[in-house]
Amino acid sequence: MIKEFKEFISRGNVVDLAVGVIIGGAFSTIVSSLVDDILMPIIGMILGGVNFSGLSITLGNAHIMYGAFIQNVIDFLIVAFCVFLFVKFVNELSKLGHHKKEEVKQEAVVETELSILKEIRDELKGKKEKKTKKTK
């Protein structure tokens, strides 16, 4: 079981996932600051000075802070959109690299086929020349 665990941990996917989680946590802090410090004040100003973080309802002894929830939803949407843009960008780069690899492979195939055809032509010319020399 320990051996299997070592194999699992040493796989590239686990390391990539760990790096992704760490970067995601740091990115989340940046996005929260963007939302809290820049976007929400602008949105609040547009909506007539409403501060979402202060929005709440008190029901009996329960203090329901739905403004914080709205802010978290906006955080999530911004993070999701940024991740979407990043993945789209990486996929485009990957496609670009894949097309270049395909072009190189196709050129290599054409080059190989062309060289083989030239060799065949040269051999046929050689045989034709030998036949012409024998008949003379």
Residue 128 lies inside a defined structural domain of this protein: no
CATH number of 26's domain? 1.10.1200
Q: What is the 3-state secondary structure (H, E, C) of the chain?
A: CHHHHHHHHHCHHHHHHHHHHHHHHHHHHHHHHHHHHHHHHHHHHHCCCCCHHHCCEEECCEEECHHHHHHHHHHHHHHHHHHHHHHHHHHHHHHHHHHHHHHHHHHHHHHHHHHHHHHHHHHHHHHHHHHHHHHC
pLDDT in 10s for each residue of the chain, 136 residues: 888 877 777 776 777 788 888 888 888 888 778 877 888 788 778 878 777 777 889 999 998 999 888 878 887 888 788 778 888 888 888 887 666 666 666 666 667 777 888 888 888 887 766 666 666 5
Residue type, 118: K
Kindly state whether residue 57 falls inside one of the protein's structural domains: yes
Residue 38 lies in a domain: yes
CA distance 61 to 52: 21
Number of domain units in the chain? 1
pLDDT for 64: 92
Q: Is 113 a domain residue?
A: no
> Hey, what are 60's tokens?
């009996």
**Using CB atoms within 10 A of its CB, is residue 70 exposed (0-12), middle (13-18) or buried (19+)?**
middle
Q: Is residue 117 part of a domain?
A: no
Under a CB-based contact definition with an 8 Å cutoff, are residues 40 and 74 in contact? yes
Residue 132 domain-assigned (yes or no):
no
Domain span at 53: 2-103
pLDDT, residue 57, reads 92
Residue 127 belongs to some domain of the structure? no
